[in-house]
Amino acid sequence: MSDFLRTDIKYLTGVGPKRAEIFNKEIDVFTVEDLLYYFPYKYIDRSRIYFIHEIDGNMPYIQLKGWITAFETVGEGRNKRLVAHFTDGTGFIDLVWFQGVKFMQDKYKTHSPYIVFGKPTRFGDKFNIAHPEIDPYIDENSRNVGLEPHYNTTEKMKKHYLNSKAIQKIMAGAFKSILGSISETLPDTVIQKAKLMPLKDALRNVHFPENPQILRDAQYRLKFEELFYIQLNILKYTSERKSKLKGIVFTHVGEYLNRFYTDKLPFELTGAQKRIIKEIRVDMATGEQMNRLLQGDVGSGKTLVALMLMLIALDNGYQAALMAPTEILATQHYQTISELLEGLNVNVELLTGSTKKADRERIHNNLLTGDLQILIGTHALIEDTVQFSNLGLVIIDEQHRFGVAQRAKLWTKNHQPPHILVMTATPIPRTLAMTVYGDLDVSVIDELPPGRKPIQTIHQFDKKRGAMYQSIRKQLQEGRQVYIVYPLIEESEKIDLKNLEEGYKHIMEVFPEYKISKVHGKMKPKEKDAEMQRFLRNETQIMVATTVIEVGVNVPNASVMVIEEAQRFGLSQLHQLRGRVGRGADQSYCILVTPYELSADTRKRINIMVESNDGFEIAEADLKLRGPGDLEGTQQSGIPFSLRIANIVRDGEILQYAREVAQSIMDEDPNMERPENRILLRQLRRLKGNRYGWELIS
């Protein structure tokens, strides 16, 4: 791209330093190029002029061509308004202003030709258009034809008169100055093959399309390009990694795994667990470094898989590490695994932020001598001070935001990079996985341990708690335990704590005969842990908590999950919470409590939860309902970056095709040395320098 595109937008006609600053701060637009890539969010059809006699009760925004016959001021005080009687020879319609009466009357003349734009509304047996847009009509050639772009603007921008219309003007001016400055960013071969519109046409047409077909073609080109470069980047990176890094080869299945399997395994592995362990064992013996994502719904038994894989590392003379996102989870893993390994003579330790200094030092030392074989912990275990003697496998549990940068850090923990397995209970739809985890191989545990009854999910209005408490009491009387979860929103932690405190008091009143635990994010990890342990040992029967219990916690005796204000949670989160129950052989229940009044979308979300127990189905529905990159979606669904024009949900087919094209380039010209492919390397370098968060792509 030429220098003109790198020009600061303050030099553009109609911008200047003040507005430039607003562009920078409000929408991240700094250069002419940034502006060109600030795409409209919708278009309004200006291609047709209607006749007044065509107007009926149900019209979108339309255009009329005609003249004002007379002005009239009607009403008094707050009801005062200006009415212009407007005609095109086929009928009359009133144009109405409630504000700027004097201004409008001065601005527009009677009997001069105008194009009027607005939405007609019926008023008795007549129609009017309130606050229309009016442009002088000069001739057919100068008329703004085609689809009119509409741009998102913030309140602050509007205050400085940077509304959609103003952006449109600045954009039009920019295109006038650009002339030949936009050079192609894709190789000719790709443009031919995918039948794409050239970049300069696509950019102009996405802002000023003459008709819907041209718009679609322009959008297709830009979406394709965006997805294509993401895919190319992932594929290139993966192939480089594979050629540079030699993987550790695990060939033995030895004593540790065998003894565990025959003496210690508390139950028969599920078919899916067996298949996955085999798949991963093969993967860890190829000589390539493994980078794999293991998806398995909550309760599918990932921990056991993790443990058995770690034992394979031990059998081959290597150390293994298991990393969890929270202290509670790390501790629980440590306990589960220590118990399972009892008598096998394996040295396991726990390292978290609250590990005491003396213990920490001992752990550091034993890691270096190799005496310590399995280290379980939180993020504390990737700190630089933690060094291993021969780390062979790292397993990361329930971690969404573990991008390539963090994984790269793990690779340096050993002279040879360890194998890496990321485990998640968030089912990631295929299109997303391809974009976000593009360089990871994926395994799926698609089977739950036998004997589990599907959790029954019930929608409960908050005004009718009596019946709900009765059924909870019944469960408690049968010896089961109960979770009651309150929402937590970071910005208003105080309010949420109040909710929690009140809920806690209320529950104590309702169930005076039972012991109640309370856990929230503001507690010290030690206290939190102690409370969780009490619940785990059934010393308390009801756990009142915020979402800190969301991931991983395993209390098989708990059979009821009550989620208060369920409407405030996303689908993935509801599914995760629900997964805390149904872990034993008994029938479990999830009760979603909401107010009567719910938006249509929320009602849909709740219904999906009531009807489906399938994590993948729910994740797809979630993505469709919210779109990626929305709300907690950025974190929950794992999209750590923003797309400018493509949409992961709707443009799955384009993504698939873009990946195929990128793959064929990598196959034919992996270093992109052919003259026609050099442009690809240049463009990749440029894109990596941008602000769209590519560094977070795994």
- The site for ligand ADP (CB under 6 A) is made up of 267, 269-270, 273, 296, 298-304, 425, 449, 554, 556, 583
How far apart, in whole angstroms, are the C-alpha atoms of residue 469 and residue 477?
12
Task: Judge contact between 428 and 436, C-beta under 8 A.
Answer: yes
Output the CA angle 275-276-281, nearest 5 degrees: 100
57 — phi, psi (to 5°)?
-65, -15
DSSP letter at 325?
S
Q: Name the residue type at position 371.
A: D
- 229's tokens: 């470069």
Choose the contact partner of 320 out of Mg ion, ligand ADP, none; CB within 5 to 8 A by kind. Answer: none
Q: Which is nearer to ligand ADP, 273 or 457 (CB)?
A: 273
Q: Which is nearer to ligand ADP, 146 or 296 (CB)?
A: 296
Q: Which is nearer to ligand ADP, 340 or 519 (CB)?
A: 340
Q: Could you tell me which stretch among 89-97, 313-321, 548-556, 619-627 binds Mg ion (CB under 5 A)? A: 548-556
How many CA atoms lie less than 13 Å away from 199 in the CB half-sphere?
Answer: 17
Q: Which is nearer to ligand ADP, 326 or 355 (CB)?
A: 326
**Count of positions on this chain that bind Mg ion (CB under 5 A):** 1
Q: Does 503 bind Mg ion (CB under 5 A)?
A: no
Q: Which is nearer to Mg ion, 247 or 582 (CB)?
A: 582
Q: Could you tell me which stretch among 251-259, 475-483, 547-555, 625-633 binds Mg ion (CB under 5 A)? A: 547-555
Choose the contact partner of 209 out of Mg ion, ligand ADP, none; CB within 5 to 8 A by kind. Answer: none
Residues 6+ apart with CB under 8 A from 39: 206, 207, 222, 644, 645
Q: Could you tell me which stretch among 78-86, 347-355, 451-459, 544-552 binds Mg ion (CB under 5 A)? A: 544-552
Choose the contact partner of 583 out of Mg ion, ligand ADP, none; CB within 5 to 8 A by kind. Answer: ligand ADP
Q: Could you tell me which stretch among 159-167, 387-395, 442-450, 549-557 binds Mg ion (CB under 5 A)? A: 549-557
Provide, rounded to whole angstroms, the least separation between the CB of residue 194 and ligand ADP.
41
Task: Judge contact between 416 and 319, C-beta under 8 A.
Answer: no
Q: Which string of DSSP letters, residue by residue, matches 481-550?
A: EEEEE----GGGHHHHHHHHHHHHHHHHHH-TTS-EEEE-TTS-HHHHHHHHHHHHTTSSSEEEE-GGG-
Q: Which of 276, 257, 242, 233 is nearest to 320 (CA)?
A: 257
Paired residues of 424 in beta bridges: 295
How far apart, in whole angstroms, are the C-alpha atoms of residue 50 and residue 193?
41
Provide, rounded to whole angstroms, the least separation between the CB of residue 340 and ligand ADP.
9
Choose the contact partner of 655 out of ligand ADP, Mg ion, none; CB within 5 to 8 A by kind. Answer: none
How far apart, in whole angstroms, are the C-alpha atoms of residue 407 and residue 417?
10
How far apart, in whole angstroms, are the C-alpha atoms of residue 218 and residue 203?
7
Q: Which is nearer to ligand ADP, 375 or 553 (CB)?
A: 553
Q: Which is nearer to ligand ADP, 554 or 612 (CB)?
A: 554
Choose the contact partner of 417 out of ligand ADP, Mg ion, none; CB within 5 to 8 A by kind. Answer: none
Q: Which of 612, 611, 646 is nearest to 627 (CA)?
A: 646
- E strand or H helix at 679: helix 678-688
Provide, rounded to whole angstroms, the least separation between the CB of residue 451 and ligand ADP.
7
Q: Which is nearer to ligand ADP, 269 or 610 (CB)?
A: 269
Choose the contact partner of 269 out of ligand ADP, Mg ion, none; CB within 5 to 8 A by kind. Answer: ligand ADP
Provide, rounded to whole angstroms, the least separation between the CB of residue 395 and Mg ion.
11
How far apart, in whole angstroms, are the C-alpha atoms of residue 574 and residue 568?
10
Provide, rounded to whole angstroms, the least separation between the CB of residue 557 and ligand ADP.
11
Residue nearest to ligand ADP (CB): 301
Choose the contact partner of 273 out of ligand ADP, Mg ion, none; CB within 5 to 8 A by kind. Answer: ligand ADP
Choose the contact partner of 582 out of ligand ADP, Mg ion, none; CB within 5 to 8 A by kind. Answer: none
Chain-centroid distance, C-alpha 524: 29
- 195's tokens: 């039948």
Paired residues of 433 in beta bridges: none
Q: Which is nearer to Mg ion, 452 or 459 (CB)?
A: 452
Provide, rounded to whole angstroms, the least separation between the CB of residue 519 and Mg ion.
18
Provide, rounded to whole angstroms, the least separation between the CB of residue 317 and ligand ADP.
26
Provide, rounded to whole angstroms, the least separation between the CB of residue 419 and ligand ADP.
19
Q: Which is nearer to ligand ADP, 370 or 556 (CB)?
A: 556
Cα-Cα-Cα-Cα dihedral of 669, 672, 676, 679, to 10°?
Answer: 150
Q: Which is nearer to ligand ADP, 317 or 584 (CB)?
A: 584
Q: Which is nearer to ligand ADP, 222 or 298 (CB)?
A: 298
Q: Distance from first CA to last CA of the chain, Å, rounded?
A: 28
Provide, rounded to whole angstroms, the least separation between the CB of residue 354 and Mg ion.
21
Q: Which is nearer to ligand ADP, 66 or 552 (CB)?
A: 552
Helix residue ranges, H only, 28-163: 32-36, 101-107, 155-159
How far apart, in whole angstroms, are the C-alpha atoms of residue 391 and residue 321?
8
Task: Judge contact between 280 and 309, C-beta under 8 A.
Answer: yes
Q: Could you tell me which stretch among 22-30, 305-313, 385-393, 546-554 binds Mg ion (CB under 5 A)? A: 546-554
DSSP letter at 289?
P
Provide, rounded to whole angstroms, the least separation between the CB of residue 426 and Mg ion.
12
Choose the contact partner of 554 out of Mg ion, ligand ADP, none; CB within 5 to 8 A by kind. Answer: ligand ADP
Q: Which is nearer to Mg ion, 204 or 302 (CB)?
A: 302
Q: Which string of DSSP letters, residue by residue, matches 615-677?
A: HHHHHHHHHHHH-TTSTTHHHHT---S--SS--TTTTHHHHHHHHHHHHHHHHH-TT--SGGG
How far apart, in whole angstroms, are the C-alpha atoms of residue 155 and residue 554?
46
- Name which position in 247, 427, 552, 582 contacts Mg ion (CB under 5 A): 552
Provide, rounded to whole angstroms, the least separation between the CB of residue 674 and ligand ADP.
46
Q: Does 149 bind Mg ion (CB under 5 A)?
A: no
Provide, rounded to whole angstroms, the least separation between the CB of residue 324 and ligand ADP.
10
Q: Which is nearer to ligand ADP, 270 or 698 (CB)?
A: 270
- E strand or H helix at 611: helix 600-611
Provide, rounded to whole angstroms, the least separation between the CB of residue 454 and ligand ADP.
15
Helix residue ranges, H only, 108-198: 155-159, 164-178, 188-194
Provide, rounded to whole angstroms, the least separation between the CB of residue 445 and ligand ADP.
7
Provide, rounded to whole angstroms, the least separation between the CB of residue 429 and Mg ion.
21
Choose the contact partner of 298 out of Mg ion, ligand ADP, none; CB within 5 to 8 A by kind. Answer: ligand ADP
Q: By the criterion CB under 5 A, which residues form the site for Mg ion?
A: 552
